[in-house]
Amino acid sequence: MPLPSKQEMIYTYLLEMFQGDIPQNGRLPSENELATRIGVARRTLRYTLQRLENEGFIVRTNHGTFLRSKVKKKEIQPITVLVPCPDYLAATGYWSSFLIHQMLLGAMESAVRAGTYVVTLPITINNNPNDLDLRQFNHLDQDSMVMTHGVEWAPQLLQTLNERGCRCGLVSSRPIPLKEFSRYGTPLFNYHLSDYWECLGSGVKQLVQDGAHQVVYFGRASTDISKHGKAYFMKACRELGLEFSEDSFVLFENNIPPHKLLSMLRDVYQKTRFDGLIFDNDVFTEIPADLDFFKETGIPPETRMIFSVSEMLKCPGLPPHTRVLHRPQKKIAGQLAEFLLSGDKGQYAHRLLYEFPFLEEFLQRTGFEG
């Protein structure tokens, strides 16, 4: 996360001091005392004092520096989190309700620490990108702090935020071309998910590190991870000297009933006898409360496993060594909010990497309840 410049830090420090015990027309400490207190050279301090004098906060005379008027605490604008529609908790796909909820939690924690708050702005009425109503953004300007993910969903959205010069914290599947934002001088921090399916290779390495010797992927055929991640999965197996066959990378269609799905997984286990599993299940498939994962599949509880975020995590009796294929949306949302609140005018892009926390740690981080 970029840090504010030294001048901005001195400026903020002095403004906070002016809000304190120094009365109007009161005398400030000497330059020597201020420089020592802040830990900077007098020459560096003078640049900031000149700025404060130009802005009318202080007056400097032969008899010292005086506070011209008490500084009112500047009201911090709220952080606006864009959501796809008013009923965003019912959002699916890339705009999943879980990811929106995590972004809101991360943004709120940073906002509260800074003394402000978060508002949500639905960008459509019906979750249809073709019905984007740009009048929703009439109140946004260069002082507005805006966060969202899934900007590819509505290209006009990105263009509008850029033209208005909003301070932007964005999550995208690909890097946003920073040169397009440079034209308008728009402050921007972009986390992007480029080739995120590489996480399958990282998942294999994590399971081997946890003690697995034979790893299988069992996932939905429709996802990008399944479509593009096989090469990374195979490469990791090859590098680690693991056996690989077509039974090591098994795909299934969406909407398969849980009992049937776990029966399919039982067949895979009987063929391969794997001791490491990456299971990418549909987040929206409801799981019966009494579903016994190990009884249904015949997999030993000591098997090292990575589950995607889904209702399957609610299966009773999952061992503590179970890991979760996790996109740390809450954490990066907090970092994006800190950038927005910092006043930094730069433009930055970082790749967002998936993580594999243990199940208990994941639950504590996210509050996930299925």
368 lies in a domain? Answer: no
Cβ-contact 144, 105 below 8 angstroms: no
Cα–Cα distance, 311 to 172 (Å, whole number): 25
CATH of the domain at 46: 1.10.10.10
* 244 lies in the same domain as 276: yes
Q: What is the pTM of this model?
A: 0.76
Six token digits for residue 38: 């802040």
Cβ-contact 136, 157 below 8 angstroms: no
* 305 lies in the same domain as 337: no
* 146 lies in the same domain as 238: no
* 188 lies in the same domain as 202: no
The pLDDT of residue 91 is: 66
* 245 lies in the same domain as 294: yes
* 268 lies in the same domain as 151: no
* 303 lies in the same domain as 213: yes
Identify which of 246, 250, 265, 365 has the alpha carbon closest to the alpha carbon of residue 315: 265
289 lies in a domain? Answer: yes
Please list the alpha-helical segments (H only) found in 142-212.
155-164, 178-182, 199-209
The pLDDT of residue 71 is: 62
The pLDDT of residue 133 is: 79
Q: Count the domains in the chain.
A: 3
Long-range contacts of 167-176 (CB under 8 A, 24+ apart): 167/142, 167/143, 167/340, 168/340, 169/145, 169/333, 169/336, 169/337, 169/339, 169/340, 170/336, 171/103, 171/329, 171/332, 171/336, 171/352, 173/94, 175/349, 176/151, 176/349
273 lies in a domain? Answer: yes
* 298 lies in the same domain as 340: no
* 314 lies in the same domain as 209: yes
Looking at the chain, which runs of residues are DSSP E strands? 58-61, 64-67, 79-83, 118-122, 145-149, 167-172, 188-192, 215-220, 249-252, 276-280, 304-308, 323-325, 347-351
Cα–Cα distance, 84 to 290 (Å, whole number): 34
370 lies in a domain? Answer: no
Largest CA-CA distance found in the chain, in angstroms, rounded:
89
Cα–Cα distance, 352 to 150 (Å, whole number): 13
* 83 lies in the same domain as 63: no
The pLDDT of residue 2 is: 46
362 lies in a domain? Answer: no
Cα–Cα distance, 137 to 129 (Å, whole number): 15
Cα–Cα distance, 172 to 151 (Å, whole number): 6
The pLDDT of residue 89 is: 73
Final residue belonging to a domain, choices 33, 67, 101: 67
126 lies in a domain? Answer: yes
359 lies in a domain? Answer: no
CATH of the domain at 220: 3.40.50.2300
* 147 lies in the same domain as 84: yes
The pLDDT of residue 234 is: 96
The pLDDT of residue 95 is: 66
Q: What is the dihedral of CA 53, 55, 58, 63, to 10 degrees?
A: 30
161 lies in a domain? Answer: yes
CA atoms within 13 A on the CB side of 148: 26
Residue 36 structural domain? 6-67
* 54 lies in the same domain as 91: no
Quote the DSSP letter at residue 326: B
- CA distance readout (Å), 354 to 198, 357, 361: 9, 10, 15
Tens digit of each residue's pLDDT, the chain (370 residues): 444 567 778 888 888 888 777 788 888 888 889 888 888 888 888 888 998 888 888 888 888 888 886 666 556 789 999 998 888 776 666 568 888 999 999 999 999 998 899 999 988 888 887 888 788 888 888 889 999 988 887 778 888 888 888 999 999 999 988 887 877 888 999 999 999 999 999 999 999 999 999 999 999 999 999 999 999 999 999 999 999 999 999 999 988 999 999 999 999 999 999 999 999 987 667 788 888 999 999 999 999 999 999 889 988 899 999 999 999 999 999 999 999 999 888 999 999 999 999 999 999 999 887 5
Cβ-contact 291, 347 below 8 angstroms: no
Query: Which value, in Å, is the radius of gyration of the alpha carbons in the chain?
Result: 26
Q: How many other C-beta atoms lie within 10 A of the C-beta of residue 272?
A: 17
CA atoms within 13 A on the CB side of 325: 27
